[in-house]
Structure 1
Amino acid sequence: MNALYPMTPTYHLSLWQKRQAAMLYYYSSQSYLDALLPKIEELIVMAEMLLERRSILDPLMVSERWGVRDTAANWSTGGFPALIAYRQSTMWHMAKRADQCYGITGTNQCAHMLGEFSMQWATAEQEKAFRERANEVFSYGFKIDGVMERGWNDVIFWVIWQQVKGHFARLPKFKVHMDIEGKTGEVPPRTGVYVSQDDPLGALQFAWTGGGEGMWKTLKECKTFNDIGLDALKTLGRAGLWGDENGLARFIEQSPYKGVFKESYFYARTRVQVHSFTECPCKWYFVELLEGEFEDSDPDAMADAPGSEPQHPPRKASGEPCPHAGWWFSPAREGSRQYFRDGAIFPKLEGDYGYTFWLWSPDQSRPTL
């Protein structure tokens, strides 16, 4: 019977590969990209309010030596356009997804530009709040870029998994199509995730069939373990490979490769990571995401499932009810931080034009009397 009807070969993803595939599909999804736009727009509104309120003080901040360098007008001329360009770039990418066109966002450019301009025209609390919110947006956008650049190896996937595993308490189901093959250096036959045909430790990749930033759309070389990485894996085991800092430190001291670990990095994981990987060309299988189908719960992710830690509530305008009890502040007035109960109506601050916007305060501690 088996001789007449041979079984079709199958490729079963390991748990680690399933996690990688889940993250790649999530961060490359249209819905994830679409959610970046309102985050950028919220940051733009926050910047506009800060600039409007501080512009009246600009003449007092002009320096004979530095000119207008530390003024709101200077930041508005040099830093603010980076936010507008970031929004426009995101809107372009959102529209091009219909053509199977993918690419990196303007996150890095915007982060770099904002880092070049002083915010000494704002109060310390305003600057801290703005930069914390900006870093949240950039961290969100960098996830997209990491997928598109194919820059994640096994340890980077592990680090990101520790940060986001609460969103994947139930892993999606996948099907590996051994009849749909890709090859390093070539445009893949289908848009989606690909797994190395013969290296179960190689990092998975996302690739696409449409246009985009030229070199990024082809399948890259497989990022996999070299001899040092394989030795570390054998010594510490899969579960403790990147999470056991003490074990990694002992591996460095006892390893025959001890002489290689000369760099004075602070973390043992970083020292091992630098020397544990190599890249090589390979053939790839297409990994299909089965929409609406899920695996059993991932025990490692359940402990960090949504709800285990608070999320920042969205900004609210004056006249709207408070969605979450806590400390809020408005960029419209220095020292506006105050406590609001659930359902309390956010007030309009005197002298402010239009609405007053209230933001969740990064500092939720009660002031010391």
Structure 2
Amino acid sequence: MDLTDVWFAAIAVLWMGYFILEGFDFGVGALLPVLASGDTERRVMINTIGPVWDGNEVWLITVGAATFAAFPEWYATLFSGFYLPMLVILLTLIVRGVAFEYRAKRDSVRWRRGWDRCLIAGSIVPAVLWGVAFGNIVRGVELDARHDYVGSFWDLLNPYALLGGLTTLALFVTHGAIFLALKTEGEIREKAGALALKAGFVAGMLVAGFLVWSQFHGGSGVSIALGVVAVVVWALAVAAIAVGREGWAFTASAVAIGLVTVTLFAVLYPNVLPAVDPANSLTTTNAAATAKTLRIMTWVAVLFLPLVLIYQSWTYWVFRRRIGVRNIPAGH
């Protein structure tokens, strides 16, 4: 295995970390109008992710920087070809971040409800579009001999990619509901557990269908095995939430989301962005940076990645306790 393969695997791990951590953030935001019966309960839900959501988004910044440095041709083609959906994702993430910070800046019901809508939209839209984007990456797109995207925006809205969007939305909603059942107490915890059980069954069927369809886009024995394990682990997460074991359920759902991500990368390898004409595909070889660049990146990652993991783990440890309406002070 050379450094191009190492960095392909590293980028897969970074996406896995992003989808696991930001996934429950998206799920909590999407469930605001479903689980919260008033402003106090909405504040409880938001407070469960308040200390960690911005740290979770760092994984997206890191994976973008790693792709730019390790596979510049992949980065250039991906972000220019998928410009409109990527712009929509960026704008919704910006609005979502502003909603977290501005929601409590004015003592007005109308003000808070407006920012709540931004938070909901900023959670649902990226959750769908990331699945659509990865569906197209695995399926392959129209690239010319210069590796420029020559398709249209509507080509990206194909059935397989749309199924990918529904799958990621269902996964993140269930993941978020399990997280809420783990982090809250009282009525919110009960409602979140019940919803996670129902959403988990739907997500399981979507995951199974999406991963089976994915195998027709370059699957191998490894990707098939990973897909089967992902579905089994997801079933264990649903079983755990059914018996009230929120900790085990959250662990299993996190592992399952990670396995789904790794399965897609296993289907993709050795391509990084397949083309309809295989001769024009971007691979780990023709899209990679120079060997010197990859060596420098490897040493930087070895030195700094442990520090990031230690810091983020410490953050989760500090804010590990359950919260409920009793923790929300009266008044604004």
TM-score scaled by structure 2?
A: 0.31
- Greater Rg, structure 1 or structure 2? 1
Higher helix share: 2
Higher strand share: 1
Higher relative contact order (CA 8 A, sep 6+): 2
